[in-house]
Amino acid sequence: MDEKKVMLSGIQPSGDLHLGNYLGAIKNWGARAEEFDCYYFMADMHTITVRQNPADLRRRTLEQLAQYIACGLDPEKNTLFIQSHVPAHAELGWVLNCYTMFGELSRMTQFKDKAAKHKDNINGGLFTYPALMAADILLYQPDYVPVGEDQKQHCELTRDVAQRFNHIYGDVFKIPEPYIPKAGARIMGLSAPESKMSKSMPEGCVFLMEKPEDIQRKFKRAVTDSDTERCVRYDPAAKPGVSNLMNIYAAVTGKTMPEIEAEFDGQGYGKFKPAVGDAVIECLRPIREEASRILQDKAYLESVYKAGAEKASYVANKTLRKVYKKIGFVAR
Ligand code: ATP
Ligand code: LTN
């Protein structure tokens, strides 16, 4: 059997996926399965470090799973599961809490940011979250953990905790490397092209499940630039709004910048903006339809996350048994 390198990533079901997430990241994930043995899980246990509405959390967890499948993560080729369905995460999470230092946790910038944002709910879980994340990762002995900038510090801590543990008990954990994915398109907000498209600015953000007419409305209202030229030309410094729309158009149609400039030569923005809207609608249509179909097929969705949890549990329990033995717990 060929030994593929293992890759693992967790995704918090705390918001709806948008065009920036898709073009910048998810679009490229399907192809990874050819090279790596990939695990992806919905990090529902992490999500409750911030207060959630239970119905929304349940809906988002399933919606997000359906959307990932619709975006090309094939459940036959990837292990897709829900974190809380694999109890080993909570179990190793507790153990690693006892090998993670108060000082280390105090230095995490995400804790400081979230504590400042949710002053009325600075709970223990928010503080010890990196120990659970270390458990998420180390259970699967992955070679790589794909992460964005904001999670690098947690990955470093994971490596430190794993090394500390290995130093005491011998080689139990593989030390994972952060994996910096090839940069996808960086998509800026339609209403404010100087900042990245983000769900915190919903007016300039196109969600994957949004209705075509709502998407078109957002594109028609997209901020273009106040220069007098009013032509479709790629120049991110002088024309950030138009260049962002061109980036989006290029990403969804595969056209090059000169091709796009030629296509809209002499036409101003009135034709260009709805054309980008139409192209995005057509790109997202199959994803939205497939995600809706999957969501309605409850039996299928259940079969995916059950099979995923079963496969994940097998791998995770093997590591957990080893850890329990090393630290002196009596075998069950
Ligand atoms: P936000 O909260 O700002 O909407 P997010 O929290 O949904 O963003 P992250 O969890 O930070 O997104 O990131 C998920 C993935 O999507 C990351 O790989 C990140 O690089 C990518 N991503 C997020 N927003 C964009 C964007 N506007 N353009 C390109 N890639 C993006
Ligand atoms: N903390 C991450 C989500 C996450 C994760 C993980 C990512 C939880 N466990 C394990 C990679 C590996 C976040 O907030 N984006």
pLDDT tens column, 207-232: 999 999 999 999 999 998 777 778 89
Nearest alpha-carbon partner for 178 in 139, 149, 215: 149
Å from CA of 49 to ligand 1 middle: 20
Q: What is the mean pLDDT of residues 104-117?
A: 95
Q: Considering every ligand atom shown, identify the ligand nearest to the alpha carbon of residue 244 and give its number.
A: 1
Write the CA distances from 95 to 92, 158, 215, integer angstroms: 5, 13, 47
Q: Is 162 helix (H, G, I), strand (E, B) or coil?
A: helix
Please name the helix (run of DSSP H) or strand (run of DSSP E) that holds residue 70, with its range, or none. Answer: helix 54-70
Q: What is the mean pLDDT of residues 145-149?
A: 86
Q: Considering every ligand atom shown, identify the ligand nearest to the alpha carbon of residue 64 and give its number.
A: 1
Please say whether the beta carbons of 204 and 192 come within 8 A: yes
- Distance CA(147)–CA(28), nearest Å, equals 14
Q: What is the mean pLDDT of residues 302-316?
A: 98
Q: Which amino acid is at 147?
A: V
Question: Is residue 199 among the annotated active site residues?
Answer: yes
- Distance CA(83)–CA(309), nearest Å, equals 8
Lowest mean pLDDT among 163-167, 183-187, 321-325: 183-187
Please say whether the beta carbons of 318 and 47 come within 8 A: no
Whether the model pTM is above 0.95: no
For the chain, give me the number of helices (H) and strands (E)?
14, 5
In 3-state terms the chain splits into helix, strand, coil percentages (rounded to 5) of: 60, 10, 35
Place of tokens 């503080």: 127
- Residue with the smallest CA separation from ligand 1 atom 12 is 21
pLDDT for res 228 = 73
Distance of CA 69 to the CA centre of its chain: 13
Q: Which amino acid is at 142?
A: P
Place of tokens 């995600």: 291
- Distance CA(82)–CA(57), nearest Å, equals 12
pLDDT tens for 58-90 read 999 999 999 999 999 999 999 999 999 999 999
Please say whether the beta carbons of 8 and 142 come within 8 A: yes
Mean pLDDT over the full length of the chain = 95
How does DSSP classify residue 87?
T
Residue 161, token pair as written in the block:
């905790």
pLDDT for res 163 = 98
pLDDT for res 6 = 98
Phi/psi at 145 (5° precision):
-125, 105
How many CB atoms sit inside 10 A of residue 57's CB? 16
pLDDT > 90? residue 135: yes
Please name the helix (run of DSSP H) or strand (run of DSSP E) that holds residue 36, with its range, or none. Answer: strand 36-42
pLDDT for res 2 = 65
> Which of 21, 27, 195, 199 to mutate to test ligand 1, by most ligand atoms within 8 A of the CB atom?
21
> Which of 154, 158, 173, 198 to mutate to test ligand 2, by most ligand atoms within 8 A of the CB atom?
154
Which of 174, 199, 220, 311 is catalytic? The answer is 199
pLDDT tens for 26-68 read 998 999 999 999 999 999 999 999 999 999 999 999 999 999 9
Question: What torsion do the CA atoms of 261, 263, 269, 274 make, to the nearest 10 degrees?
Answer: -130
Q: Which amino acid is at 217?
A: R
Residue 216, token pair as written in the block:
């078109």
- Distance CA(130)–CA(137), nearest Å, equals 10
Beta bridge partners of 5: 36
Question: Is residue 196 among the annotated active site residues?
Answer: yes
pLDDT for res 227 = 73
How many CB atoms sit inside 10 A of residue 47's CB? 20
Å from CA of 208 to ligand 1 middle: 13
Write the CA distances from 295 to 58, 62, 302, 306, 331, integer angstroms: 12, 7, 10, 15, 41
**Under 8 Å CB-to-CB from 319, ≥6 apart: which residues?**
88, 92, 138, 139, 140, 141, 172, 173
